[in-house]
Amino acid sequence: EGFSSVHFFLSLYRFQACIYFASVFQAMSCGIHYLASVFMAVTPNFVCGIPGNVSSVLFYNSSESSIEDIWTLWTSTENYIVVQLENGEIWELNQCSRSKREVGLDVAYEYKGNKSIFSCSDGFLYDDTKWKSTVVTQWDLVCDREWLAKLIQPTFMLGVLIGAVIFGDIADRLGRRRVIWFTSAGQFVFGIAVAFTFDYYSFVIVRFLLAMVSSGYLVVAFVYVTEFVGIKARTWASMHVHAFFAMGIMVVALVGFLVRTWWAYQIFLSIATLPFVLCCWMLPETPFWLLSEDRYEDAQKVINIMARWNKVSTPCKVSELCSVQQDDLVSGRTGDNDTSSTKKHNILDLFCNWHIARRTITVWLIWFTGSLGYYVFSLSSVSLGGNEYLNLFLIGAVELPCYIIACIGMDKLGRRNTLIPFLILSALICVLIMFIPQDFNILIILANMAGKFSIGVAFGLIYLYTAELYPTIVRSLAVGSGSMMCRVGSVVAPFCVYLRSVWIFMPLLLVGIMALLSGILTIMLPETLGKPLTNTLVEATEIGRSKKSCSGKTPPAHSGATLEKIEMFGQETVSTEK
């Protein structure tokens, strides 16, 4: 049967619905902080500072009394401004240097005489018609310090990578609830602290910590919500976490439009996390984690609360679930050596033969391409022309329908048959944008929205597809390694966007090539729609119709029946896995 977004919301019982929407609401703050730098670290027009009081300003044929009146005429970084000081000196102001005319009686824009060139020792003058203050204007991150501004987003994404690894592991050790508490409070505290940093280096360090807790929350939130919703709703539940992340991008555009001072802008963005911080302490630990730690009484308390909220008179008993698990363990070990169940697996198991290795390389490439394309389209949206705030808002809004399309496509067409056309479509859109004249702003924006839509479908789909392509014994390893490639793509994306200075279409060319290559390689991946999850590398290899096998037998997944019952705690029926 088909499963729609409406069915998803109806399938959530009262307790699960409260848990779900409380958790995904905070995912908006992750989208906010991930993209906050697009306005906070923008570089406005600027020229060298003036070594005295100005009496007149000349820009081509326009004469003004102040430099502020010149900015509306500024069209290129190659432009310069001629100023006459009250002491009679005439200076030419460029972006990264200034020159004093040796002889000059009348103020003229063109000058062929001798000049003395000086550095910008008096600072810089910035165009504040759009942004009253940014971190670039605050700490003069221009000219020979421009590279510092370009490191702001990559260092944040590096924090995202490290945070995902650290907090994912901590959540398995200490529990999901504690990590959600800490990362939620951390997002608020570090978010506010960013606004009060005193120099560039403290700003980058605090933003790095903010990136770690934001990434940590997003990773753990995925696990947290999927452990509370049922099997049928799991795909839609994970997809809608992405949707709330996209809503965070839309909030960035709205706040950026309303607040033009970077530190106030940062404070307003951080306040968005406050409601959840005040109530997140009420969230319970997941029964999955409690049972894995043998905390049966605590698990039973959570089950009873769920049953009470959902108005179920006979909740599940932990003792029943434990007996099921023990039966599965015994049956799973029959005919197999105990050593097989304790065999340790590592990253090399993802390359155990040619078929699995080819699958792993393709999956990693899709993860990398999805992340690269996602952030290239998002970060580039403010440079498309027109209203940059509206551009970013639309780039975020276009994600909302794309995840619905991804879910429908996965259920109707299959994972691979949905992934291939959208990857190739994103590559074609990248090529199409190159042929659109630059003065067709609306058409360019629409094409970029289409590119973000297509790459968003692929990006959202790969999470579930990766989990289905690999067996139980290395499934977490496969998804985790793919996620690492995703983080690498997010670190590379800002540098890719900076290549616009080399050639305006260079970022699109790189994304297009990667998307096309990924789409072609995806053809060789097996379809997993309607197929049972595999338990061993042998079974996973056979999905690709290969006769070769890998070592690494394991007993059947012993916790399957237990997990199915836990997933539907407080509900009146128990689902069976397809």
User: What does the H/E/C string look like for 185-249?
Assistant: HHHHHHHHHHHCCCCHHHHHHHHHHHHHHHHHHHHHHHHHHHCCCCCCCHHHHHHHHHHHHHHHH
Sign of CA pseudo-dihedral 176, 179, 183, 184? positive
350-542 maps to which CATH number?
1.20.1250.20
Q: How far is Cα 544 from Cα 552, in angstroms, rounded to an integer?
A: 18
Take residue 503 and report the two structure tokens written for it. Answer: 């050639």
Take residue 142 and report the two structure tokens written for it. Answer: 């221009």
Q: Strand 46-48 and strand 90-93: pairing?
A: unpaired
**What is the DSSP track for 127-142?**
--SS-SB-HHHHTT--
pLDDT tens by residue, the chain, 578 residues: 444 544 444 445 677 778 888 888 888 899 999 999 999 999 998 988 887 777 788 887 777 767 777 787 777 767 788 888 888 888 888 888 898 888 766 777 788 878 888 888 888 989 888 889 999 999 999 989 999 999 999 999 999 988 888 887 788 788 888 888 899 999 999 999 999 999 999 999 999 999 999 988 888 887 788 777 766 666 677 777 888 899 999 999 999 999 999 999 999 999 987 888 887 778 888 777 787 777 777 777 877 777 777 676 666 676 665 654 545 444 444 444 444 444 566 778 888 888 888 999 999 999 999 999 999 999 988 888 778 999 999 999 999 898 888 888 888 888 899 999 999 999 999 999 999 988 888 899 999 999 999 999 988 888 778 878 888 677 767 877 888 888 899 999 999 999 988 888 999 999 999 999 999 999 999 888 878 777 777 888 887 564 444 444 444 444 444 444 444 444 433 333 34
- Give the per-residue pLDDT at 576: 32
Q: Which of 32, 40, 38 is CA-nearest to residue 264? A: 40
User: Residues 570, 303: contact at Cβ < 8 Å?
Assistant: yes
- The identity of residue 200, as a single letter, is Y
The length of the chain, given as a count of residues: 578
15-44+133-283 maps to which CATH number?
1.20.1250.20
Take residue 111 and report the two structure tokens written for it. Answer: 């000058």
Take residue 368 and report the two structure tokens written for it. Answer: 């990398």
Take residue 250 and report the two structure tokens written for it. Answer: 């839309």
Angle between helices 388-397 and 441-469 (to 10 degrees): 30
Who contacts 59 (Cβ-Cβ below 8 Å, separation ≥6)? 70, 73, 74, 79, 81, 82, 109
Q: In terms of C-beta density within 10 A (0-12 exposed, 13-18 middle, 19 or more buried), how is residue 530 classed?
A: exposed
Alpha helix (H) ranges present in 36-124? 37-40
Q: How far is Cα 282 from Cα 303, in angstroms, rounded to an integer?
A: 15
Take residue 497 and report the two structure tokens written for it. Answer: 């966007």
CA angle centred on 249, ends 264 and 408, rounded to 5°: 165
Take residue 547 and report the two structure tokens written for it. Answer: 């006769």
Q: Could you tell me how far CA 487 lies from the centroid of its own chain?
A: 9
Take residue 194 and report the two structure tokens written for it. Answer: 């960013």
What is the residue extent of each domain of the chain? 15-44+133-283, 46-129, 350-542
Q: How far is Cα 163 from Cα 210, in angstroms, rounded to an integer?
A: 9
Q: How far is Cα 145 from Cα 414, in angstroms, rounded to an integer?
A: 50
- The identity of residue 308, as a single letter, is R
Q: How far is Cα 38 from Cα 302, in angstroms, rounded to an integer?
A: 42
Q: Is 570 left (phi over 0), alpha (psi -120 to 50) or beta?
A: left
Q: Which of 346, 376, 406, 372 is CA-nearest to residue 486? A: 372
Take residue 418 and report the two structure tokens written for it. Answer: 């949905």
Strands of 331-468 (E only): list them.
Answer: none
Q: How far is Cα 233 from Cα 146, in angstroms, rounded to an integer?
A: 47
Take residue 347 and report the two structure tokens written for it. Answer: 């990253």
Q: How far is Cα 445 from Cα 575, in angstroms, rounded to an integer?
A: 45
- Give the per-residue pLDDT at 555: 40
Please tell me what DSSP assigns to residue 70.
T
Place of tokens 């050639």: 503
User: Residues 84, 108: contact at Cβ < 8 Å?
Assistant: no
**Residue 527 CB-half CA count within 13 A:** 13
350-542 has the same fold as 15-44+133-283: yes
Who contacts 414 (Cβ-Cβ below 8 Å, separation ≥6)? 527, 528, 529
- Give the per-residue pLDDT at 421: 94
Q: How far is Cα 574 from Cα 147, in angstroms, rounded to an integer?
A: 57
- Give the per-residue pLDDT at 530: 77
3-class DSSP assignment, residue 394: helix
Q: Which of 530, 416, 420, 514 is CA-nearest to residue 465? A: 416
